[in-house]
Amino acid sequence: EPEVTQTPSHQVTQMGQEVILRCVPISNHLYFYWYRQILGQKVEFLVSFYNNEISEKSEIFDDQFSVERPDGSNFTLKIRSTKLEDSAMYFCASTSSYEQYFGPGTRLTVT
């Protein structure tokens, strides 16, 4: 069964460093999303992406964040200068219609 994959599963970085989180959505899906979940809290929408451009973004998704689909398979989230409060699980999701399929997540730890 097709699934969304994410790498790395865990990333540790120092404050101020740039990180790139990678996702491979399900191959025939057209809509892609990034979410984050701070430990023990609710899931927060970051950004949606369709047709090679951002379709919606939340107030969390400020200038420190960017997304890219560099080739036909990968979908990346870049955080330019990480802060301690960026520590969270980051989930990628994709869909072809309504049901979103979530990847396993990347745990980002900023020290």
Partner 1 sequence: ELKVEQNPLFLSMQEGKNYTIYCNYSTTSDRLYWYRQDPGKSLESLFVLLSNGAVKQEGRLMASLDTKARLSTLHITAAVHDLSATYFCAVDGNDMRFGAGTRLTVKP
What residue ranges bind partner 1 (CB under 8 A)?
A: 33, 35, 41-45, 48, 56-58, 91, 98-105
Tell me the C-alpha distance between 58 and 65, whole Å: 11
Could you tell me the smallest distance in angstroms from the CB atom of residue 24 to partner 1? 14
Give DSSP secondary structure letters for 47-109.
EEEETTEEEEE-TT--TTEEEE--SSS-EEEEESS--GGG-EEEEEEEESSS--EE---EEEE
Nearer to partner 1, 63 or 71 (CB): 63
Min dist. Cβ of residue 57 to partner 1 (A): 8
- Identify which of residues 4 and 79 has a Cβ nearer to partner 1 in the complex: 4
Closest CB to partner 1 among residues 10, 18: 10
